[in-house]
Copies of this chain bind each other. A is one copy, B any other.
Amino acid sequence: MIFTATPQGLCFSLVSEEILSKTKIVDLSADFRIKDVATYEQWYGLKHGAPQFIKEAVYGLCELNREQVRKARLVANPGCYPTCTTLSIYPLLKAGLIDPQSIIVDAKSGTSGAGRGAKVANLYCEVNDTIKAYGVATHRHTPEIEEQLSYIAGEPVVISFTPHLVPMNRGILITAYANLKRTVTYEEVRAVYDAAYGDEQFVRVLKKDAVPETRWVKGSNYVDVNFKIDERTGHVIMMGAMDNLVKGAAGQAVQNMNLMFGLPETTGLMQAPMFP
């Protein structure tokens, strides 16, 4: 069992038939997340070095692809934004209640999402007591999210995705907007969420009107989701909160490993959230 957490493009040379014949790999980079090679190459500015493994690689969003992960030799561990965004939107998109072409995702991330490199932009005094958008309309997680939403919708989905840098260490908050296809009740939508996640151990559907907050998932593998119907506008607001370093990275990698080895899915992952 190997976890690879390399810069983009480096995992190509690490994956081979010889290695996969001997062990399983969970890759935390983006190299095998996107099925469409051209899309990968366009957004990452790289030539894909091992396209022969793309088809085999399973996108390791456990809640959606559990059975494929169990049988996989090579798992592409999802990005942090794609994990939280996809899980936030999945129930209503799957149920056909929202217009797939109307989705707008406004994302907020703590600073650990930027890595530990010594860059001026990530210095304490640059990040503390301020907020900004970044990568507006150009963030590399956009095509990864779009591919997943397209599978769910059964049609090509294009989204508007705008991430923001927040003065906090950990955490991702997704606020996603979409047009409802028709009038719905709270109870109807709630039933859709419960059906989608009722059996999930790491996705918690919050009570009515409770909002996901990153503090309630910090340090844990949980994703908290909820929704709000805006009757005045015909929108639904779908929200999700997650720890980018756990469910958004290492935690989900362990979750994938557990599935690949037939272990209980929660093994090593039941650490409680830490507040404050």
Q: Which of B125, B170, B237 contacts A136 (CB 8 A)?
A: B237
Contacts A123-B123, A134-B211 given: A129-B160 contact, CB under 8 Å?
no
Contact check, B274 vs A219: say whether CB atoms are below 8 A apart: yes
Measured CA separation A120–B160 after assembly (Å): 33
A195 contacts B by Cβ under 8 Å: no
Q: Which of B123, B166, B211, B276 contacts A166 (CB 8 A)?
A: B166
Contact check, A175 vs B118: say whether CB atoms are below 8 A apart: no
A56 contacts B by Cβ under 8 Å: no
Q: Which residue of B lies closest to A123 (CB)?
A: B122
Measured CA separation A230–B235 after assembly (Å): 21
Q: Which of B158, B159, B168, B228 contacts A129 (CB 8 A)?
A: B168
Residues of B contacting A158 in the complex (Cβ-Cβ under 8 angstroms): 232-233
Residue count of chain A within 8 Å CB distance of chain B: 59
Copies in the complex: 4
Residues of B contacting A213 in the complex (Cβ-Cβ under 8 angstroms): 130-132
The residue among A125, A177, A237, A271 with the most chain B CB atoms within 10 A of its own CB is: A125
Interface residues of A in 170-202 (CB under 8 A from B): 170-171, 173, 175, 177
A15 contacts B by Cβ under 8 Å: no
Contact check, A104 vs B177: say whether CB atoms are below 8 A apart: yes
- Can you identify 19 A-B contacts, CB atoms within 8 angstroms? A104-B235, A116-B125, A123-B124, A124-B127, A124-B128, A125-B276, A129-B171, A129-B218, A131-B166, A131-B173, A132-B173, A132-B212, A132-B213, A133-B175, A136-B230, A136-B239, A137-B237, A158-B233, A169-B276
